[in-house]
Protein backbone atom coordinates (compact mmCIF):
# COMPACT_ATOMS: atom_id res chain seq x y z
CA UNK A 1 0.00 0.00 0.00
CA UNK A 2 1.38 3.39 -0.99
CA UNK A 3 1.74 5.52 2.17
CA UNK A 4 2.82 8.67 0.33
CA UNK A 5 -0.66 9.35 -1.05
CA UNK A 6 -3.98 9.15 0.75
CA UNK A 7 -5.71 5.80 0.41
CA UNK A 8 -9.41 5.16 0.64
CA UNK A 9 -10.16 1.48 1.14
CA UNK A 10 -13.53 -0.20 0.42
CA UNK A 11 -13.65 -3.79 1.73
CA UNK A 12 -16.78 -5.09 -0.05
CA UNK A 13 -18.64 -3.02 -2.62
CA UNK A 14 -22.10 -3.40 -4.07
CA UNK A 15 -24.02 -1.40 -6.67
CA UNK A 16 -25.66 0.49 -3.82
CA UNK A 17 -22.26 1.85 -2.78
CA UNK A 18 -21.93 3.91 -5.99
CA UNK A 19 -21.65 7.64 -5.37
CA UNK A 20 -19.28 10.40 -4.30
CA UNK A 21 -16.88 9.92 -1.41
CA UNK A 22 -14.63 12.46 0.27
CA UNK A 23 -11.40 11.51 1.95
CA UNK A 24 -9.88 14.00 4.37
CA UNK A 25 -6.57 13.66 6.12
CA UNK A 26 -4.37 15.56 8.47
CA UNK A 27 -0.87 14.81 9.60
CA UNK A 28 1.78 16.87 11.36
CA UNK A 29 3.16 17.77 7.94
CA UNK A 30 0.09 18.18 5.72
CA UNK A 31 -3.65 18.06 5.49
CA UNK A 32 -6.13 17.89 2.66
CA UNK A 33 -9.24 16.47 1.20
CA UNK A 34 -10.14 14.78 -2.05
CA UNK A 35 -13.51 13.75 -3.45
CA UNK A 36 -13.85 10.77 -5.74
CA UNK A 37 -16.78 9.47 -7.69
CA UNK A 38 -17.27 5.73 -7.42
CA UNK A 39 -19.33 3.76 -9.94
CA UNK A 40 -19.75 0.09 -9.01
CA UNK A 41 -20.94 -2.10 -11.87
CA UNK A 42 -22.72 -5.37 -11.44
CA UNK A 43 -26.14 -6.84 -10.95
CA UNK A 44 -28.46 -4.47 -9.11
CA UNK A 45 -30.32 -6.26 -6.28
CA UNK A 46 -33.13 -3.70 -6.58
CA UNK A 47 -33.73 -4.95 -10.13
CA UNK A 48 -35.35 -8.15 -8.83
CA UNK A 49 -37.63 -6.31 -6.42
CA UNK A 50 -38.96 -4.19 -9.29
CA UNK A 51 -39.77 -7.31 -11.33
CA UNK A 52 -41.49 -8.92 -8.35
CA UNK A 53 -43.67 -5.83 -7.89
CA UNK A 54 -44.52 -5.79 -11.62
CA UNK A 55 -45.42 -9.50 -11.67
CA UNK A 56 -47.53 -9.35 -8.50
CA UNK A 57 -49.38 -6.30 -9.82
CA UNK A 58 -50.03 -8.02 -13.16
CA UNK A 59 -51.28 -11.13 -11.35
CA UNK A 60 -53.68 -9.13 -9.20
CA UNK A 61 -55.02 -7.27 -12.26
CA UNK A 62 -55.49 -10.58 -14.08
CA UNK A 63 -57.42 -12.09 -11.16
CA UNK A 64 -59.55 -8.96 -10.75
CA UNK A 65 -60.51 -9.14 -14.44
CA UNK A 66 -60.71 -12.93 -14.83
CA UNK A 67 -62.97 -13.75 -11.86
CA UNK A 68 -65.85 -11.46 -12.91
CA UNK A 69 -65.49 -12.68 -16.52
CA UNK A 70 -65.83 -16.32 -15.44
CA UNK A 71 -68.81 -15.51 -13.19
CA UNK A 72 -70.51 -13.59 -16.03
CA UNK A 73 -69.84 -16.40 -18.48
CA UNK A 74 -71.28 -19.05 -16.17
CA UNK A 75 -74.38 -16.96 -15.48
CA UNK A 76 -75.00 -16.50 -19.21
CA UNK A 77 -74.72 -20.24 -19.84
CA UNK A 78 -77.01 -20.97 -16.88
CA UNK A 79 -79.59 -18.43 -18.10
CA UNK A 80 -79.55 -19.94 -21.61
CA UNK A 81 -80.07 -23.41 -20.15
CA UNK A 82 -83.06 -22.16 -18.16
CA UNK A 83 -84.56 -20.62 -21.30
CA UNK A 84 -84.12 -23.91 -23.16
CA UNK A 85 -85.71 -25.84 -20.29
CA UNK A 86 -88.68 -23.45 -20.18
CA UNK A 87 -89.32 -23.76 -23.91
CA UNK A 88 -89.49 -27.57 -23.62
CA UNK A 89 -92.11 -27.34 -20.87
CA UNK A 90 -94.34 -25.05 -22.90
CA UNK A 91 -93.88 -27.11 -26.04
CA UNK A 92 -94.84 -30.27 -24.19
CA UNK A 93 -97.85 -28.61 -22.61
CA UNK A 94 -98.99 -27.27 -25.96
CA UNK A 95 -98.43 -30.63 -27.59
CA UNK A 96 -100.39 -32.44 -24.88
CA UNK A 97 -103.17 -29.90 -25.09
CA UNK A 98 -103.29 -30.27 -28.85
CA UNK A 99 -103.47 -34.07 -28.73
CA UNK A 100 -106.22 -34.10 -26.14
CA UNK A 101 -108.76 -32.42 -28.48
What is the pTM for the complete model shown?
Answer: 0.35
Q: What is the pLDDT of residue 58?
A: 96
The answer for 2, left when phi > 0, alpha when psi is -120 to 50, beta otherwise, is beta
Instruction: Report d(CA 67, CA 94) in Å as an integer.
Output: 41
Tell me: pLDDT of 84 over 90.
Answer: no
What confidence category does residue 76 fall into, taking pLDDT thresholds of 50, 70 and 90?
Answer: confident
Between CA 26 and CA 6 the distance in angstroms is 10
pLDDT value at position 10?
77
- Report pLDDT for 14: 81
Amino acid sequence: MNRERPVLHFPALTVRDSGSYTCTWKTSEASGSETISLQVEGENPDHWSIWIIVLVTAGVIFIVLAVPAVIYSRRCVHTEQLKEDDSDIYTTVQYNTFTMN
